[in-house]
């Protein structure tokens, strides 16, 4: 049952194709169902093998963003020059009309037709109105991880200070300078090492 629901809410992809020729110079793609959103993704246009060696111009008629009808040349093909053309996913929303403006064809247009159900997201949001559960630490506004990390880093600094004191005693006894692990992080430790090193030289 859940598979049926997820399949109906997921956009469906269908093969699209049409042929324009002298006796059928126009092909329309209408939106019959108001409950669906549709999209055409055009992939290629090619001439048929029997097409005459002259230019074949195809135009597409669709709607602009403000709902006005507009006509745009899609391709101009000629068998000896350019028998086919990739449209690389030229997308247009129906209603759309393809029209053979010149030439006798056949001209084949192919692509994909996407169909999705409208308002399915709104219905899902209404059905899923339960609040999102969050961890207690996020709800209370506390940051235990950050506090814990800070405490650990403070402990590390205290340990390293104790180690440095021990190192100083060892250095003065043995006249050896031991490099610190985190020299770049603590300038005070670096200065102390340099002072000890200078004292050992002179």
- DSSP letter for each residue of 32-84: --TTEEEEEEEEEEEE-TT--SS-EEEEEEEE-TTS-EEEEEEEEEBTTTBSE
> Does 202 or 76 have the greater pLDDT score?
76
Question: Residues 98-125: pLDDT tens digits?
Answer: 999 999 989 999 999 999 887 655 555 5
Q: Would you state the pLDDT for residue 50?
A: 94
Query: Minimal CA–CA distance to 105: which of 14, 18, 19?
Result: 19
Which of 55-64, 70-79, 188-197 is predicted least confidently?
A: 188-197
For residue 187, pLDDT over 50 is answered with yes
Q: What's the mean per-residue pLDDT of the chain? A: 75
At 35 the pLDDT is 79
Identify the band that residue 188 occupies on the pLDDT scale cut at 50, 70 and 90.
low
Q: Would you list the domain boundaries of the chain?
A: 2-118, 143-201
pTM above 0.75, yes or no: no
CATH level 3 topology of 2-118: Jelly Rolls (2.60.120)
Closest CA to 99 of 20, 171, 46: 20
What is the model's pLDDT at position 74? 95
Average pLDDT over residues 192-199: 64
pLDDT at 52: 94
Residue 54 has pLDDT above 90, yes or no: yes
Mind listing the pLDDT tens digit for each residue in 124-158? 555 555 555 544 544 444 444 444 445 555 555 55
The runs of H, that is alpha helices, within the chain are: 2-9, 120-127, 136-140, 144-174, 187-201
């Amino acid at each position: 049952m859940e598979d049926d629901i997820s399949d109906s809410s997921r956009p469906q992809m269908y093969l699209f194709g049409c042929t324009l020729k002298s006796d059928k110079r126009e092909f329309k793609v209408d939106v019959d169902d108001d409950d669906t959103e549709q999209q055409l993704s055009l992939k290629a246009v090619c001439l048929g093998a029997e097409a005459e060696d002259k230019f074949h111009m195809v135009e597409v008629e669709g709607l602009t963003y403000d709902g006005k009808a507009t006509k745009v040349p899609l391709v101009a093909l000629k068998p000896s020059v350019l028998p086919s053309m990739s449209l690389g996913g030229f997308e247009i929303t129906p209603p759309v009309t393809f029209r053979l403006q010149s030439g006798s064809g056949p001209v084949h247009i192919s692509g994909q037709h996407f169909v999705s159900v409208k308002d399915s997201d709104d219905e899902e949001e209404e059905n899923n109105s339960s609040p999102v559960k969050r961890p207690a630490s996020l709800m209370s506004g506390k940051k235990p991880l950050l506090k814990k990390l800070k405490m650990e880093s403070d402990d590390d600094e205290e340990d390293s200070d104790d180690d440095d004191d021990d190192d100083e005693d060892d250095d003065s006894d043995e006249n050896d300078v031991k490099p610190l692990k985190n020299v770049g992080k603590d300038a005070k430790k670096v200065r102390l090492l340099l002072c000890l090193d200078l004292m050992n030289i002179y």
